[in-house]
Amino acid sequence: MANEMVNQEVNTLAVIEGLKLDRVQQSMNTIQQFQKVVQGSLVEGHDYGASFFGANKPSLLKPGAEKILMLLGLSSEYEIIEKIQDYEEGFFAYTIRCILTKGGQVITQGLGHCNSKEKKYTSDKQDIFMLGNTCLKMAKKRAQVDAALTVGSLSDIFTQDLEDMVQFEQSERIETLTIDDAENMKINFGKHRGKTIKEIYSTDEGYIRWLAERAKQEVVKKAASMVLNRAKKESSGKGSKVDGIEEVNEEELPWDEEVPF
């Protein structure tokens, strides 16, 4: 054991002695200059989040990571390392690897993981079909941020603390929303509680229009709008029309006398 430690120290010393210190200093200066460029280019609240209580560094977010990769001229590829999809139990887990390349050469990698047992998802009554896709997109985002922090030597000015991302949960759900997610989103309030937006639309189109205009949650408003837009596109080819609220004949819509909440 002692011999192994001695050999390790000798090998480490050999690496240090083999360095050209002038080039090392030049590299360090370049890194510091790049860090200043990044700090001056990113926008707080959009590219990175303010530090939560007790942290001394802000959290790098997806838009900021994308800007860093663009500054460096890097391309990103993703692969699923591990996944669990249990629709019966409602549990999903993904581990994603983000591979950064330039000119076909691998530069570095980053890892990201997300699962549906995280507090942000267990406390949210999100539809099971939407939850799996959300976890996958979140794992991909975390892998990208991890890779960006590594390749830019930015871990001393940014972090990836999950606690700081709470304020961006709503925007993240909206960003990752697909038409399938929108149709399968369950409404957990009002007279259609427990039904999906697609199910509600088939029997009460007026209620979906109300959600698109006045729902309290932005993600619900967007989901309702996406379903209406799809219906509009499909009906346009058949000569029928689904227009905005101001152009709808209210006498033909099953509106409640009271607010539907």
pLDDT tens sequence across 47-95: 887 655 445 678 888 888 999 999 899 999 999 999 999 988 889 999 9
Residues of the chain with CATH 3.30.160.20: 57-176
For the chain, which residues score pLDDT lower than 50?
5-6, 8-10, 53-54, 163-164, 166-167, 240-261
Q: Domain 57-176: which topology?
A: Double Stranded RNA Binding Domain (3.30.160)
Q: Which residues neighbour 244 within 8 Å (Cβ) at sequence distance 6 or greater?
A: none
The answer to whether 143 and 110 have CB atoms below 8 angstroms apart is yes
Give the whole-angstrom CA distance, residue 165 versus residue 158: 13
Q: List 94's β-bridge partners, or say none.
A: 83, 114
Quickly count: other Cβ atoms within 10 Å of residue 167's Cβ.
11
What pLDDT score was predicted for residue 248? 46
178: helix, strand or coil? coil
Q: Mean pLDDT of all residues in the chain?
A: 78
Q: Pairing between strand 91-102 and 75-86?
A: antiparallel
The answer to whether 62 and 158 have CB atoms below 8 angstroms apart is no
Query: 């759900």: which residue's tokens?
Result: 173
The two three-digit tokens of residue 175, written as one number = 């960003």
What pLDDT score was predicted for residue 190? 86
Q: Pairing between strand 105-115 and 75-86?
A: unpaired
Query: 């409602």: which residue's tokens?
Result: 90
What pLDDT score was predicted for residue 50? 62
- What is the DSSP code string of 119-138? HHHHTS---HHHHHHHHHHH
**Helix, strand and coil percent figures for the chain, each rounded to 5:** 55, 15, 30
pTM for this model (two decimals): 0.56
The two three-digit tokens of residue 88, written as one number = 């019966």
What pLDDT score was predicted for residue 259? 46
